[in-house]
Amino acid sequence: MAFTTLRGASSGLLAVLKKGPRLRRRGKQPAGVPGEAAHPAPAAPGNAIASLAPLTEVIRQYLDPKDVERVKEAYRFADQAHLGQFRASGEPYISHPIAVTEICAGWKLDAASLMAALLHDVIEDQDVSKQEIAERFGADVAEIVDGVTKLQRLEYASKAEQQAESFRKMLLAMARDVRVILIKLADRLHNMRTLGAVSAEKRRRIARETLEIYTPIAHRLGLNALFRELQDLCFQAIHPNRYRVLHKALLAARGNRREVLSKIHEAVSAALPAAGIEAEISGREKSLYGIYKKMVEQKKSFSDVLDIYGFRIIVHTLPECYLAMGTLHQLYRPVPGKFKDYIAIPKLNGYQSLHTTLIGPYGTPVEFQFRTRDMDHVAEEGVASHWLYKDPNVSLNDLQKRTHQWLQSLLDIQSQTGDSGEFLEHVKVDLFPDAVYVFTPRGKIISLPRGATPVDFAYAIHTDVGNQAVAAKINGEFAPLRTELKSGDSVEIVTSSASRPSAQWLNYVRTGRARSEIRHYLRTVKYEESVAFGRRLLLQAFDQLNLPYPDDDDPEWEKLAKGSGAQSRDEILADIGLGKRLAAVVARRFAPENAMVATTAAVVDEITATTATPILIHGNEGQAVQLAPCCGPLPGDAIIGGIRLGHGLVVHMAECSVAQRQRAREPERWIPVAWDTKTARHLTTRLDVTALNERGVLGRLAAEITEADSNILHLTMQDDDVSATAVLHLTLQVDSRNHLAQVIRAIRHVPQVKKIVRVKG
């Protein structure tokens, strides 16, 4: 079965750190755990007794006896503090701190971290002071406990403010001491494992909070085992039915593919030792949430997700990773494009591994991962692997250095920004890599979807910036408006009051805002320009008929609109401007005989034959009047105008071959036009320049064009090996025919130039 929507997923970051109501003194009504309602002790005897024995066995393996005793002392203090307090499941509350500490011990955290994990709720729940903890267990432990506790005392009037501020406090506490967030993640993991005792509504709320805040942090810190488990637990809580269906399907698929996987395992187990490679081979199964997410994003059914199972090859040295991969590439055929080298280029969270997909028996694609044991340890436990904390005598590994730099950057950002929302936007750059985060020239972060362009960026700044964008500077260098942005880019938009949105932008913008703004502009502005130009054409037609132009409230407008299917007078004028109606026919509707005249060539000839005043062209009228790109007419050229259906008036050079062919087919759509005394600047024209293909000729040519106050918009070159010449096809910006003549004279100063031709059709 295929799921195509992810229902119930909330948007934005949720405030997750505030606990439910807590009682401040021992002996009062017992409290619950974060997200769980407090319950009194069950009346029936036989509650489970929390034991420290399993934890003690684990920590004895890597802590000194003295530190083990300190952890036990912290347990006794926490047990006394939580005496009489029970979880929603009915278990003694102390079972929760013990479970959290066991998770931390699995990461081999230091004694201070384990003590803080045992004590992490005593300040919040039982009103134990930070000073009391410092006196009994040391300032280090007290600071960690206080850091975890502060994350839960958040009360703000605005939900958005609460979300941003809670996230800010969490990350700043983590930046000062990463052990704070490790304990908090362990705390959240145990709460997610024991959500069964709370209501379905609370389960979904806590799961969404976890999925949107804690799982990205776990991933950023490289805690992949924790990351995957949290995702699956959240999936189970938010969509229990879908979880059950997928879990059942996965078990069935596991049985169906057992034979294939066994064959692959046997073949690999034989091939690697034969190549002199000692390796540990283990099966790898995609997480349920990972399968579900792939089904949703790619709109696939479960049977179409082929990379559910795979193998992990763990070797001793880095070179053996590549040797093992090469050996298996000889055993099975690799799938092109499915190789990823995360060893040479590690992921941001320190993950290193080689990934390749091979076609196994029966044509089944199977993914293999190759890594050393150290890489595997880092891949599963991230920043918690090979735990080192503030030990000046031990060098940090690359992952810990990167993590330390990222955490330090949080403090740097905080010192520069006092606003929680702005701080959050900065941090999102690293926590949510699916989006692209770019900077304005003033350093503000703009969030855009992957694949966004400077046009998306411009509209994210302001509608007017987007509407007037002409170019972009990315990291200080000019770049096309269709360039895809990358996280960290600094973007500056160059604007011009004469610039207007182009329909071409819709081909590469990604944001809904940019797309809607462009479409809105094209609809409204084109309509307004068409109305204005239609009025000009209609005024001309009335002048040639020696008729007065009707008032806007003339009832004849309404009759004409109803008779022709239009909604209003402006729509009639817009249709004239867009070439959907002929001004001559509309004008005759207001003639004294008051008879609707059909659109015939004879009527048009009658009007145009007496036309003495042409339509004046400025060159910047907008979309209602366009200069034909085929010939690029310039002020000073003889021009003609054709009404093109849906496009308005298109102005050509009189000698343009394209215009002459069109005029021969539809003579009724052509009207006399002329240049106004004041015309637009920076109009486009084209030149073909033939020159000797020698070194430096292009630079000389560009310099002369610049000296003539012109600009090259586009350039292509065609070589001729026989004559050792090249034809350069130039698209230039000039002001008029006279300006173009100046540019041509400047180009002739280049000795290598042999021929210059203006393209006119």
Q: Chain-centre distance of CA 635, in angstroms?
A: 45
List the one residue out of 357, 240, 231 whose CA is nearest residue 290.
231
Residue 128 backbone dihedrals phi, psi, to 5 degrees: -80, 135
Query: H-helix or E-strand containing 670?
Result: strand 670-671
CA 328 → CA 34, 269, 270, 323, distances in Å?
49, 11, 11, 9
59, 61, 66, 71 alpha-carbon torsion, rounded to 10°? 0
Alpha-carbon distance of 419 to 425, in angstroms, equals 10
d(CA 34, CA 13): 18
Q: Which residues contact 725 (CB under 8 A, 6 or more apart)?
A: 690, 691, 692, 693, 754
Report which secondary-structure segment, H or E, holds 340: strand 340-341
Residue 492 annotated as catalytic: no
- 618: Cβ–Cβ under 8 A, 6 or more apart, which residues? 625, 676, 678, 679, 680
Decide if 353 contacts 377 (C-beta within 8 A): no
Which residue in 410, 478, 492 sits closest to 444, CA to CA? 492
682 phi-psi bin (left φ>0, alpha ψ -120 to 50, beta other): left
Which residues have C-beta within 8 Å of that of residue 264, sequence separation ≥ 6? 311, 360, 361, 366
Of residues 212, 238, 232, the one with CA closest to residue 431: 212
E-assigned strand segments in 440-517: 445-449, 469-474, 477-479, 491-495
Q: Is 124 a catalytic residue?
A: yes
Written in H, E and C, the secondary structure of 221-248 is CCCHHHHHHHHHHHHHHHCHHHHHHHHH
Q: What is the rounded distance in angstroms from the CA atom of residue 335 to the CA atom of residue 366?
A: 10
Amino acid at 552: D
d(CA 654, CA 651): 9
Distance CA 476, CA 489 (A): 10
Among 91, 110, 124, 489, the one annotated catalytic? 124
Which listed residue (91, 102, 125, 668) is catalytic? Answer: 125
Question: What does the alpha-carbon distance between residue 448 and residue 65 come to, in Å, rounded to a whole number?
Answer: 53
The Cα–Cα gap between 411 and 566 comes to: 63
Q: Would you please indicate which residues are annotated as catalytic (active-site) residues?
A: 124-125
